[in-house]
A and B are shown apart, each in its own frame.
Chain A
C-alpha cells in the first residue's frame, strides 16, 4: 500500500469516526439562551486526569424536562438503553456490560436498588435533576466500586443568588399522557431552598402492528400499560464562610401496569408493579486552606411490589439502606493532592422472596493521589480495599495519566488502567429459589486511551472532539443458569470481554442573537463471551445479546431570539437475540423535533414547547416483541416568575 493510499485510508477512517457522531457532550457551557444557567457549587470528580467523563447538556436537560433520564441517555449519550416501553422497566448498558455493571448515583451516593443491583431509569424524570454526568469505565472508580461499565451521576445543585423563582410546567402528550412539573427556588447567597414536584400519568394505549399472532399483521392497541408517577424533591443549602451544608429529600412513587409481549394474549393476565422510594441525604463540605473535608450521610428506603394475577404471584420487597461517606483531601505540595475516602453501606432487605430479613454491610477505604507535574503531565493513582460483610476482597486500583499535547491548548491524550470489583446483588445471593450465598464478586480489568480536544476555531465557533478506545475483561461474571435442580441458580460462570470505540464531536456557533450547536457521536461495541464452563458454548466469541455493535446519535440545536428548535437523530444497529447470533432485532433510526417560543416579560418567562417524537413513525423494538410507540406529540407550557 502506497503512503498516499495509507494516508487516504486513515483519513477516511478518521472521517467515519468523527463525522456521524456524538451525543454525550463533554462540555457544559451553555451558549443557547433558552434556560437558566445552573452553576455548580461543587465540582464532581469529572476532571480526574486520564479518565473519560461527559455530561448531558443542561440545555438538552431542560428541553426534555418531562422525559425520563432513560430517554436522555439513549438519545444524547453512548449509553445503550433497553426498554419494555414507556413507563416499563428500562435498564442502561455501558460499553457492552450489563445493567448491573452500571452504577447510578445521586450526588455521588449509590442509589442502585440493593436487591436488583441495578436501576430502572424510567422512574427518574429529568425535570427533577440539574445535571447528569456520565463516567466511563475506570472514571467511575473515584465515586464508588461496582461501576464496571460506568457510572451515571444525577446532580442537584443550588444557585447562589438572591432570587425567588417559581415555575409551573404542565404538559399534555399523545396516548393520554399528562405531565406537570413545579419548582420553587428561593434564597440568597448564603441560604437556598429548592422544592420540586412532578407528576405524570398515561393511558399509554398506542397502536402498534402485531406481526406475531396471525398470518396477516394486525393493528392492536397496547393494553394494560397505564402508569402514573409522582415525585417530590426538597433541598436546603446553607453556605458559610468555609463550608456548605445541605439537606436533601427525594420521594417517588410509581404505579404501573405491565403490558406483556405482543405474542402473549392470555385472558386474566394482569401484571402490576409499584415502586416507592424515599431518599434522604445530609452533606457537609468544609474547605479550609489546603484541606477539604466532606461527610455525607444518606438513608434510603424502597418498596417494590409485583403482582401477577394469573400466576398468583404477590412479590413484596422492602429495602432500607444507610450510607455514610467521609472524605478528606489534602494538598501535600503545589503539585500533589491526596484524598482518603471511607464509605460504609448497610442495607437490610425484607422480602417474601427471601428466607429471612437479610442484612449486608460493605465498607470500603479508598486512597487517591493526584499529581500535576506543573507541566503537561497529570496523573492519578487510586487504591481501594473493600470489606464485604466479613470478607476482604482483593484490592482494586486505578491509574490514569493525562498529557497536554500543546502548551496552553486543550488537546489531551489520556490513558487509564483499572481493576474494579462488583459485589453480587442481594437477589443473586439470597433469592429463593436459586440465590447463591457463596457467589464471588465479579471483577474487571479496564483499559482505555482517549484523545480529546477543545478548540476555538474563531470568535463565534468552538469545536470539541474526542475519540476513545477501551477494553474491559470481566471475570467471574454472574449469570443465572439452570442448575442441577429444576430451578435457576446464580453462579460465577462466565468471562466476558468488551472492547470498542467511542467518538464524539460538537460544533458551537454563537453570534448576536443567533446560536447553533451541532453534536454527533458514534459508538462501536464488541462484547463477547470469552470464557464459559459449558462445553462447546456457542456464545464464545459472539456478540452478547441485546448489545448493539453500532450506535450513533446526532442533534442540532438552533436558537434565534425567542425561537428555538432542536432536531435529534438516534440510530441503533441490530441487536442479536440468540447467543449464537443467528437471530437479531433490526436496527432503527429515530428522529425527534422540539420547537418552542420563549417570551421574556417583566419578571416572567413564558415558554411554549412543542415536541414530536419518532417523526417518521418508525416501527421498532428494543426488547423483542415489546412494541414501542410510533409518532407522538407533546405540548408543554412553562411559566416562570422571578422575584
Chain B
C-alpha cells in the first residue's frame, strides 16, 4: 500500500513536469491576450536543443538554459507575426507546430551525422543525488530537479501575475488592451515579452523531457505534450496555480492507469487508456465549472481601432 502510494506520487510528478512548463508558458501568453497554439512546437525545439547542447557541452544545466533560449527564439517568430504584424494567432501557432518537428529533425541530422535521434546525453541531476535510495521504494520519490523547478516557476508566475505591478499590466493588456493603452502601457511590448517568456517556459518543458525523463532526443519525445498543456491552461482557468493543478491531475490519472494495469489488479489496457479522459470530464463537471478566457485573448490589438 505504501509502495503504491509512493509510486503514485512519484509517477504523477514525473509525468506532469513537462506539462507544467508548457502550461505555464500557455498561461503567461494567454493572460497577455495572445493565444499560443505553438507550445507543442516550442517544446519540440526545446527538446532537441537541450539534448544537442547537453551532448556538446556535457553540461545539462547549460543545456537547460539553451533550451529556454531556443524556445524563446521560436516564440519570437510567433510574437513577430501575431503581435507586431497582428496576424491570426492560431495560424501562426499552427505554423510553428508544423515547422518545429522539421527543424528539430534537420538540426538533429546536421549535428549527429544524419541520425534521427541524438546519442545518450548527460542529464540533469535528481534532487537527492543520482543514486540516493537506490534499490528501495523511496527511489521513486527521488525526483528530477526539473520537477522542483516547475513548481518554483508556477509559484513565481503566480506571484508576478497577482502581486506585482507588471503582472497587473499583463492581465490588463489581456482583458482590455485599449484601456491599458490609454493608461500608457505599451501593449505590443508587454505582449511580445509575454510570448517570449512563454516560449522560454515551453523550451524548458522540452528540456525536462530530453535531459531529465529520458536522456536523448527522439522524434516521439514530445508527442502531444504541448496540446495537453494547452488543455491544462483552460482547465486551470488561465491561472498558474490552476494550470499546475490540472497538470498534476493529468499526471495522476496516468499514474493510476499504470498502477491499475500492472501487478495483481489487471484491468484491460484499452479500458485504462480511457481513464484520463473520463476523469478529466468528471473533474471538469464537478469541480471546475465555467472557465472564462481573458477577454482579449486571441484578438490582435490594433491601435486606435474600436
Q: Do A and B bind each other?
A: no
The residues of B with any CB-CB pair to A shorter than 8 Å are none
The residues of A with any CB-CB pair to B shorter than 8 Å are none
